Structure 1
């Protein structure tokens, strides 16, 4: 290789190093300035300016490598020589125009970088977060502190406990939760005890009063006990058609009181007279359970469906003790309900099971067995049943005594006629 080729390659290499040094020097904080008037640059390390040319060197002494020959004596082109340099240059540029590796930092730059990192660490600690590891390191989001989930008063309590407040706060929180759970459990147990006492009291009341649960004012089906008479009248008279005279009481008032035996069988109803025949009242009573005074499931259901809320009955005997009469009055919702019960009472009705009244007196043979006559009358929302027989249960004589007893017994409904009169007065008729 000739000296000119060696010098040319060395010059190109020095020029490349010079360019890279000039590019890297400002980034590392080292400033230099070219002396354009003199045609060459100054030494970036603060030395004397480079000479215009290099002295002649023998070919057998290599300069910075194993090149043969020596450099030309031409003017210096502003690049560095091939001698060792401890600056930022660390090798040749990569082939194909690839960027060179980053130059190592000088001692001054390292000290500056170390100070910068310390300042960033101090700023990070003063803000309560972890120090940053570099310029581009993003601050990680702070994890949820369990201490913040507790109250401020608890934080004040543990502020003097050192480096472990979280454990103490968690213990206090668990104790608080357990305490609240105990209070809630105690309240629930107390309410359960009150409900249990109320339920036991209700059951005790129902057992003592013999009142079915949920009865209230609603009619209920409660048939009489077994052993009662199931006598059907031999002669039955009645109609489901109401009479016009009872139109003022065709519907029961919502605030109507239950039937009262003393009112119904007091006054003129205590003694019933016609010609030489007289009936005297022996006993009377009232009930709010209409179905207890009848037998037959269909009849009882008709009373329930008809809204029967109360009933009253009384038993009569004549002066001689030959005849007995029982008058029963049912209080239903309206005239149609009264007619439906009358139809269920009729022994001739084959569409329903048989059923009729239960006799009031137990020591009288009549109405328990033998011959009897009954008549039923729809009186507005009331249904009146008149039932007569001989006291001994025998068939009547050939005279008209039985017929007369039936007519006289109908006067027992005098209170119903008085009710019609009061309804007319209230209605302004």
Structure 2
């Protein structure tokens, strides 16, 4: 069972493409005679809107996608709205099955380069507000996976956040909007995945009951995609495939087992 649709229907609200173009065009251009203070401002905007390399001595890079596009909660997973109905922790083997160690969509093919499950949500995120909301809404796991395309031209990050209920998943999805400046999940380091999040990238979120699933993708090196946004949408449809674990969880709900 799958909920995937055509690329435009799956990810874009009616005005999202225009919003993303404004984010890109809103950055100041540096002319020959621009004052130094404007140059500094341009650098700051570039870090916020296009990802950055903001490392402190004791922590990971604090990078954001250029744009985060959420989807409304999936109505077909309403049975997972509360973790009390689905208390068993996620495992790497459940999320990254044999079928999702290699994923494809159209002409794009990816291989899983690394995976990790953390029971400490603060350890794999950054941002005080995001971390406070993760704690408030009962985050007890973040599952991450890093993907590399077979031609090494694209890279992707998959992550699933396990929260107490759907309201928590909705709040964390709002926090992940780069404009909120609340924080983000730290990309998983893996062979072939270097400096992920620097440059141009796009993340797409889907709420399945008490889970928030995100596919975050970019061209290797962060260059702007040649085919524009449709290229990143297609890539994300491959990288999001581990999110199918939710359908297995649906089948294990008590009311499903008794039918």
TM-score (norm 1): 0.44
Other structure's SS at 1:232 match? coil
Residues 385, 427 of structure 1: CA spacing in aligned structure 2 closer, same or farther, 3 A cutoff? farther
Within a 5 Å distance, the mapping from 1:295-306 to structure 2 comes to 295-306=126-137
Please, which runs of 5 or more residues in structure 1 have no aligned partner?
1-223
Equivalent in the alignment of 1:262: 93
- Whether 1:235 aligns to 2:64 is no
Task: Show the counterpart of 1:292.
Answer: 123
Shift of 1:348: 2.5
SS of equivalent to 1:406? helix
2:244 pairs with 1:414: yes
SS state of the match for residue 84, structure 2? coil
Partner Cα separation in structure 1 for residue 225 and residue 86 of structure 2: 44
Give the whole-Å Cα distance in 2 for the aligned partners of 1:427 and 1:370. 50
The 5-angstrom pairing of residues 74-89 of structure 1 reads none
1:301-340 correspondence runs (5 A)? 301-340=132-171
User: Is the 2:67–2:178 contact (alpha carbons within 8 Å) kept by the matching residues of 1?
Assistant: no
**1:255 Cα shift?**
7.4
- Offset of 1:321 from its aligned partner? 0.7
User: Does the CA contact (< 8 Å) of 2:204 and 2:215 recur in 1?
Assistant: yes
1:82 aligns with: none
Q: More strand by proportion, 1 or 2? A: 2
- Residues 427/340 of structure 1: CA separation in 2 closer, same or farther (3 Å cut): farther
**1: CA distance, partners of 2:109 / 2:162:** 27
Alpha-carbon deviation of 1:270?
1.4
Query: Measured at CA, do residues 255 and 419 of structure 1 come closer, stay the same or move farther in structure 2, by a change above 3 Å?
Result: closer
Q: What is aligned with 1:390?
A: 219
Please list the CA deviations of residues 326-384 of structure 1 after superposition, one character each: whole Å capped at 9, or x if unmatched.
Answer: 111111111011111111111233xxx43112111166345241110001111101111
- 1:44-101 CA distance string (max 9 Å, x none): xxxxxxxxxxxxxxxxxxxxxxxxxxxxxxxxxxxxxxxxxxxxxxxxxxxxxxxxxx
1:213 is matched with none
Asked if residue 356 in structure 1 is aligned to residue 184 in structure 2, the reply is: yes
SS of alignment partner, residue 246 of structure 2: helix
Give the conservation status (yes or no) of the 8 Å contact 2:157–2:188.
yes
Mapped partners of 1:368, 1:254: distance in 2: 35
Higher RCO (Cα < 8 Å, 6 or more apart): 2
**Which ranges of structure 2 fall in alignment gaps of 5 or more residues?**
1-55
Q: d(CA) in 2 for partners of 1:330 and 1:404?
A: 22
The partner residue of 1:374 within 203, 210, 218 is: 203
Matched, 1:248 2:76: no
SS of the residue aligned with 1:253? helix
| Root-mean-square deviation over aligned CA pairs | 2.1
Cα offset, 1:412, TM superposition = 2.0
CA 1:225 to 1:311, structure 2 compared with 1: closer, same or farther past 3 Å?
A: farther
Larger Rg: 1
Q: Distance in 2 between matches of 1:300 and 1:263?
A: 25
Match of 1:348, SS state, is helix
Q: Which residue of 2 aligns with 1:25?
A: none
Distance in 2 (CA, whole Å) between partners of 1:406 and 1:326 is 9
- 1:375–1:387 contact (8 Å) kept in structure 2: yes
**What is the TM-score normalised by the length of structure 2?**
0.71
Does the 8 Å CA contact 1:317/1:325 hold for their aligned counterparts?
yes
Q: 1:427 offset after TM fit, Å?
A: 5.7
